[in-house]
């Protein structure tokens, strides 16, 4: 490609930069269309309609249904849904802090840790803070009965994104059904975790949470870079909240929203194609392919 654009008067370094830009631009159009938008079937709610403050109320501001939370050296902040759920679609549009954010986690997740301390289930979307020269990492994770009791078994898959999450709001969501968990970014599935056995799938009701907090011990390159409060505050912005599903008290006849246009079953062929594109181009870690892991503890691999 460089030979097509490099003229005799151009410096070699400029030619290389131009080639890199062309290659990057060719990959920057984003994933192929999934052909279906699960979020379009779900009405938005304001923060106060679906959530309440959990901690750090002095670092939380609600304005016109949207939420801003922030971390400084005194405290972070978190929120929690008004009800627990046994399945459903849980999402929000989020905009992240630019610049130096190493050590800082901005999250949207499901958990029942308050109900089952030391023996809880959890489904995570976590943004791992970064240094200005590197992109954010979006970490997805699933815990099943055991995290916090000295036998922490994470099921992490980490991604970079095909856009800069600090420049605008993008929609991030977890779709949890009795048969699978699907993580979505702007309605594009990026990961599907299927129920292969009761032992490897969360089945107990969970609450929806979000937070910004200091995880310097592990968040950025395994703790190499820590939170630096000379850059405070570290701000997370949330809007366009969507919650639709079966609460813990819903009858057995309740069904969560579907991920696919068919209204039943799993992802369509077009959705799978979009997910495969993301994983080919932007997946940076898969616990199932980590040779350092004991895979007897993750039989789904």
Active site residues: 122, 126
Strand-by-strand arrangement of the 51-55 sheet? 51-55, 77-81, 207-214, 104-111, 120-128, 137-147, 157-159, 283-286
Which residues neighbour 68 within 8 Å (Cβ) at sequence distance 6 or greater?
Answer: 60, 61, 62, 235, 236, 237, 238
CA distance 274 to 207: 29
CA distances 229 to 216, 266, 281, Å, are 12, 44, 33
Residues 184 and 173: their CA atoms lie apart, in Å, by 5
- Nearest alpha-carbon partner for 89 in 293, 245, 210: 245
Compute the distance between CA of residue 204 and CA of residue 126 in angstroms, rounded to an integer: 21
Confirm if 222 and 129 have CB atoms less than 8 A apart.
no
Q: Which two tokens mark 51?
A: 């959530």
How far apart, in whole angstroms, are the C-alpha atoms of residue 52 and residue 61? 11
State how beta strands 85-95 and 234-247 pair.
Answer: antiparallel
How many distinct helices (H) and strands (E) make up the chain? 4, 15
Q: Record the tokens describing residue 94, joined without a space.
A: 């989020």
Cα 149 from Cα 31, distance rounded (Å)? 39
């Amino acid at each position: 490609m460089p030979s097509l654009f490099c003229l005799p008067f151009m410096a070699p370094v400029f030619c290389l930069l131009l080639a890199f830009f062309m290659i990057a631009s060719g990959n920057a159009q984003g994933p192929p269309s999934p052909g279906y938008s699960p979020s379009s079937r779900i009405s938005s709610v304001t923060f106060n309609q679906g959530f309440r403050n959990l901690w750090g109320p002095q670092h939380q501001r609600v304005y016109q249904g949207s939420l801003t939370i922030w971390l400084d050296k005194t405290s972070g902040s978190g929120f929690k849904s008004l009800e627990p759920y046994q399945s459903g679609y849980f999402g929000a549009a989020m905009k992240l802090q630019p610049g130096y954010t190493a050590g800082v986690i901005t999250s949207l997740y499901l958990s029942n840790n308050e109900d089952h301390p030391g023996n809880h289930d959890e489904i995570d979307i976590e943004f791992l803070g970064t240094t200005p020269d590197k992109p954010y990492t979006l970490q997805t994770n699933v815990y099943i009965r055991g995290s916090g009791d000295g036998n922490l078994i994470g099921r992490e898959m980490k991604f970079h994104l095909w856009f800069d999450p600090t420049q605008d709001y993008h929609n991030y969501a977890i779709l949890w059904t009795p048969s699978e968990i699907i993580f979505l970014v702007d309605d594009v599935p990026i990961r599907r975790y299927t129920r292969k056995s009761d032992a490897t799938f969360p089945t107990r009701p969970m609450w929806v949470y979000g937070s910004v907090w200091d995880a310097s011990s592990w968040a950025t390159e395994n703790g190499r870079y820590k939170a630096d409060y000379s850059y405070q505050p570290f701000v997370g912005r949330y809007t366009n909240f969507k919650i639709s599903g079966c609460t813990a008290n819903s009858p057995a006849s309740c069904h969560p929203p579907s991920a696919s246009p068919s209204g039943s079953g799993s992802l369509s062929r077009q959705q799978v194609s979009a997910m495969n594109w993301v994983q080919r181009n932007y997946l940076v870690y898969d616990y199932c392919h980590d040779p350092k892991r004991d895979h007897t503890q993750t039989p789904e691999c």
